[in-house]
Homo-oligomer: A and B are copies of this chain.
Amino acid sequence: MTDPQTLYQELIARVSKATLLQSCGSVLSWDRETYMPVDGNDHRANQLSLLAGVAHQWATDSRIGELLDQLIDSELADAPDSDSTVNIREIGRTYRRARKLPQRLVEELFRVTALAQHHWAEARKTGDFNGFAPWLSQIISLKQEEAAAIGFSDDGEPYDALLDEYEPGASSADVAEVFDALRNQLVPLLDAIHGAERQPDTSLLSRHYPVAEQAELGRRAAETIGFDFRRGRLDVTTHPFCSGFGPGDCRLTTRYDESFFSSAFFGTLHESGHGMYEQGLPDEVFGTPLGSSVSLGIHESQARLWENLVGRSRSFWEHFFPSVQKIFSQALSETSLDDFHFAINAVNPSFIRVEADEVTYNLHIMLRFDLERELMSGALKPFDLPEAWNTRFTSDFGITPANHSEGCLQDVHWSAGLLGYFPTYTLGNMYAAQFFDSAAEQIGDLPSLFASGDFAPLLAWLRQNIHQHGQRFSAGRLVEVVTGNPLSTQPLIDQLNTRFRPLYGV
């Protein structure tokens, strides 16, 4: 009998090596979105498909199953929340899931999505859904195959199998229930805001904001809240994202619109929130569950917390507004802090999810969640997506997209095969609100700190309570450990009411 410690070390070495190879793929994916020349796409697809295939092979090597079988009853797996128990638990979960996916399907998904993203980007430019539809069709088929291979409970649905990848333990029915509850509380708030006499002047955000100055400001803001540029970068892409390559290297991207202030600025804060989570994961256990993020919902909570709960607060702007006003003196010299703060918190139905306000944002997610479930169940055919999107959008928001670029083509996710991903955004909003309440309670006067430009105590709290744990706790348990309560819609709803009702005087 080999001793458990030796077996455990082999397990960790194997899993870390697979993660290291995956992280090479992250570099290639990042380059594809940022700097790759247009004709490099086919070769890049071949490269990514090879890396994904080999990483999958390594991560699903039956030797890992043997090691897990031998370790599961050892003393290394019997102390809940201990390093080795956590790693064995989470490696086992991922391994079992991955073993269900045939190598061929994994490679095919990588190949198709690499090409599809290219066609999506073209289609998004022209608004021509038909150029993308055949790719979406292929992707849905492959994801249905994936869901069938993963499996789901008898009273479940194919979508559950996908959701579980991003938010382990969540089910479609549970999410649907939470979303319904949220919707019921959002609609009255929205109605009140819609009927308010006081409305912000959002036109001030659409004045002339030169790109170079926006880039400089965004970088400075990211640095001020705590993103470490020695360990990361900020670049430009069509669709903003954050990709943590591993210790010391985390890449953020954003996009600039010289006629709209909010897009790049809040996008940068958002991705910085993701990036600070990545930078806060413990380096020394890179490649293992203890060095990895918990779930997409928790990841998103870090982004939304910095973007909205910090970045749209009045105290944040008490610190930043004077210098922003100076940088964009042409646009903002006559604007007051109050008017600016009201404008960046404007609530209005709009077409683009990533530019939506905090109140309607969750309706964008619910729409995608419902359409995804239908695409996966087969109730909605990919070619019928534009009509379904526009119908639902009109009913939820009272406005109709003028073209598909501001409709069903706006997001990169489906072209990248990321179905089941969208609901984690709204879960992230809920986690963020609940975490933020606890942070405020434990740290003390956050608004004063923000107003003086001091964001370090909040970041230290997040590092201490969330980042450093990696996957030690599941998302659900993490919320309980950190906040003392299970996840609830209440903190989010309370915060939205507390912040938006006074602004609009309703």
Where the two chains meet, the residues of A that have a C-beta atom closer than 8 Å to any C-beta of B are 17, 20-21, 23-24, 27-28, 31, 35-44, 46-47, 50-51, 54, 228-233, 235, 245-249, 286
Contact = CB atoms under 8 A, between A and B. Distances in A.
A404 to B, nearest CB: 26
A37 B286 contact: no
A46 B47 CA distance: 19
Contacts of A245: 40, 43
A235 B51 CA distance: 26
A232 B46 contact: no
A28 B24 contact: yes
Q: How many copies of the shown chain assemble into the complex?
A: 2
Nearest to A248: B39
Contact of A43 (B21, B43, B230, B286): B286
A17 B54 CA distance: 11
Contacts of A17: 50
18 contacts: A20-B50, A21-B50, A24-B28, A24-B47, A24-B50, A27-B27, A31-B31, A37-B229, A37-B233, A39-B248, A40-B231, A40-B245, A40-B248, A42-B248, A43-B245, A43-B247, A44-B249, A46-B246
A93 B235 CA distance: 43
A286 B235 CA distance: 31
B27 A249 contact: no
A40 B21 CA distance: 16
Contacts of A230: 37-39
Nearest to A250: B37
Nearest to A46: B20
A249 B37 contact: yes
B36 A249 contact: yes
Contacts of A247: 39, 42-43
A468 to B, nearest CB: 18
Nearest to A35: B233
Contacts of A50: 17, 20-21, 24
Nearest to A231: B39
Nearest to A279: B39
Given A36-B249, A43-B249, 4 more contacts: A20-B46, A35-B233, A37-B233, A38-B230
Contacts of A40: 231, 245-246, 248-249
B246 A43 contact: yes
A248 B41 contact: yes
A248 B232 CA distance: 28
Contacts of A36: 249
Nearest to A17: B50
Nearest to A31: B27
Contacts of A249: 36-37, 39-40, 43-44
B20 A47 contact: yes
A141 to B, nearest CB: 26
Nearest to A40: B249
B47 A27 contact: yes
A319 to B, nearest CB: 26
A133 to B, nearest CB: 25
A254 to B, nearest CB: 15
A228 B39 CA distance: 10
A232 B38 CA distance: 8
A27 B20 CA distance: 15
B43 A248 contact: yes
A164 B377 CA distance: 61
Contacts of A233: 35, 37
Contacts of A232: 37
Nearest to A20: B50
Contacts of A37: 229-233, 248-249
Contact of A24 (B39, B51, B286): B51
A16 to B, nearest CB: 10
